[in-house]
Amino acid sequence: MKSKVKIIWKLIAVSLIAGLILSVTGIALGASRSLYWDRSGVHISGGLISTITERDLQPFNTIYVSAGFSDVEFVSSDKFGIDLYARDMEWFWSLENETLIVNHDRGTRLQILNFEFAPHERNRATIYIPENAELNIVNIETSSGNINLSSFNAKTTSINNSFGNIGLNNITSDTLQVELSSGNFTGSDLTSDNLIYSNRFGDGIFTSVQANRIKADCSSGDLRFTDCEFGNIVMTNSFGSINATGLISQRANIRVSSGGIFITGNMSGETVLHAGFGDIKLTTSGEKSDYSFDISAKFGNIRFDGERQRDQTSIISGATLENHIKITSSSGDVSVDFGG
Tell me the average pLDDT across 146-152: 97
Query: CB–CB of 160/176 below 8 Å?
Result: no
For the four alpha carbons of 97, 101, 106 and 108, in that order, the dihedral sign comes to positive
Give 3's pLDDT tier (boundaries 50, 70, 90): low
Say whether pLDDT at 2 is over 60.
no
Last residue of a domain, one of 147, 170, 193: 170
Is 141 found in the same domain as 201?
no
Query: Are 213 and 274 in the same domain?
Result: yes
User: 170, 204, 220 — which closes off a domain?
Assistant: 170
Is the domain of 44 the same as that of 25? Answer: no
Confidence band of 10 (pLDDT split at 50, 70, 90):
low
Domain assignment present for 179: no
Same domain, 7 and 126: no
Give the pLDDT score at 20: 47
Confidence of residue 339 (pLDDT cuts 50, 70, 90): confident
Give the pLDDT of residue 104.
Answer: 84
d(CA 129, CA 75): 6
- Round to the nearest angstrom and report the end-to-end CA distance of the chain: 92
Q: What mean pLDDT value characterizes the chain?
A: 87
* Residue 92 belongs to some domain of the structure: yes
Mean pLDDT computed over 113-129: 73
Q: Is residue 178 part of a domain?
A: no
Q: What angle do CA 268, 270, 275 make, to 5 degrees?
A: 110
Q: Both 7 and 59 in a single domain?
A: no
Answer yes or no: do 106 and 78 share one domain: yes
Q: Indicate the pTM of the whole model.
A: 0.84
Q: Which of 23-37, 56-70, 233-247 is predicted with the least confidence, judged by mean pLDDT? A: 23-37
Task: Indicate if 50 and 18 belong to the same structural domain.
Answer: no
Q: Are residues 86 and 130 in the same domain?
A: yes
Domain that holds residue 10: 2-31
Residue 313's pLDDT band, with cuts at 50, 70 and 90, is confident
Q: Are residues 165 and 190 in the same domain?
A: no
pLDDT in tens, 50-71: 899 999 999 999 999 999 889 9
How many domains does the chain divide into? Answer: 3
| Same domain assignment for residues 210 and 84 | no
List all residues 6 or more positions away from 330 whose beta carbon is below 8 Å from its beta carbon: 275, 276, 277, 298, 299
> Is 177 among the domain residues?
no
User: How many angstroms separate the CA atoms of 21 and 3, rounded?
Assistant: 27
Q: Give per-residue pLDDT as tens, 86-109.
A: 887 789 999 999 999 999 875 545
Task: Of 250, 244, 240, give the one whose Cα is nearest residue 218.
Answer: 240
Kindly state whether residue 233 falls inside one of the protein's structural domains.
yes
Residues 159 and 194 in one domain: no
Contacts of 62 (CB under 8 A, 6+ apart): 98, 99, 100, 135, 136, 137, 138
pLDDT at 217: 97
197 and 280 together in one domain: yes
pLDDT tens digits for range 154-184: 999 999 999 999 999 999 999 999 999 999 9
